[in-house]
Structure 1
Amino acid sequence: QSKYKENSSPKCWRECGEWMANHSHIFWSCKAIKGSWENSIKEMLNIFGISLGKNPPVILLEKIPEEINKNYSHLFLIIRVAMIKQMMNSCLVLTRRVALSLNFPFVSRLNRCDTTC
């Protein structure tokens, strides 16, 4: 049972099958986005020449790795935000389906986001 809302399910809203999904699962370890994280980490290696590994504080919490030159730290943050935005946009179809099933008030806005989000 979710501690945030009564009558809500702790099941992952990305429909991966996880029944006890917490924030760590939703934003990092969910198998629905795991491949996206791995691809993003590979791209960061190509761009900056350093391996981020699977390091949630660096990617999720804006901790800039020490290996990145100060001159490139702002670029690192911009690319990181772009990665996360792309990953979340790739989940938009699933989010729309879940929102429709739950009758969320923003569903009409989601229907307009087919090509612009």
Structure 2
Amino acid sequence: MQVFENVLTDRGSRYAVSGGPVSGREDVRAFLKALTRRKKFAKASHNSWAVLLPDGPAKGDDGEAGAGAVILQKLEGAGLRGELVVVTRWFGGTHLGGDRFRRVAEAVDHYLAHREAPA
């Protein structure tokens, strides 16, 4: 699991991005459980995620409507299969409107640029 904390901030909201290899939906559940064992991530407003699995794409918004689809679109564009990407947001008190989708995309871009490819 690779975790990049404090990737960006916008009007008080803070973002992190995490990811790692998964081979199926059970691995996705285990990854999310491991991530949210960290108290900081368990208290986050949203842990939105997406992955391209052999049996098709999977995503979760965790209350951040549309965020999973944004992550999925970025993964498809990068051709990244079998690697779960989670964008975490801690709400800062100001609604971001459509800018929240840009921040999610920027967080995924950060992950794609800085991740260590699995061996």
> Does the alignment reach a TM-score above 0.5?
no
- Higher helix proportion (structure 1 or 2): 1
TM-score for the superposition, normalised by structure 1: 0.30
TM-score normalised by length of structure 2: 0.30
Structure scoring higher RCO (CA < 8 A, sep ≥ 6) equals 2
- The structure with the larger Rg is 1
Which has the larger share of strand? 2
